[in-house]
Amino acid sequence: MSRKYLLVPGVRSNNIYVVDTASNPRAPKIHKVVDGSEIKKKN
């Protein structure tokens, strides 16, 4: 089983970081940042 993306929560910022681990596992890169205020609006 392999995973392409890893979801990492931000502790102080309330953001969720989507990290790409498939292209280069030794040097993962941030693929997308979901803003914490955007998440609060959807609730």
Helix, strand, coil % over all residues of the chain, rounded to 5: 15, 35, 45
Tell me: pLDDT of 1 over 90.
Answer: no
Please tell me the pTM assigned to this model.
0.80
Residue-wise pLDDT tens digits, 14-40:
999 999 999 998 999 999 999 999 888
Q: How far is CA 40 from CA 15, 17, 27, 34, in A?
A: 11, 16, 31, 11
* pLDDT attached to residue 10: 93
* pLDDT attached to residue 39: 84
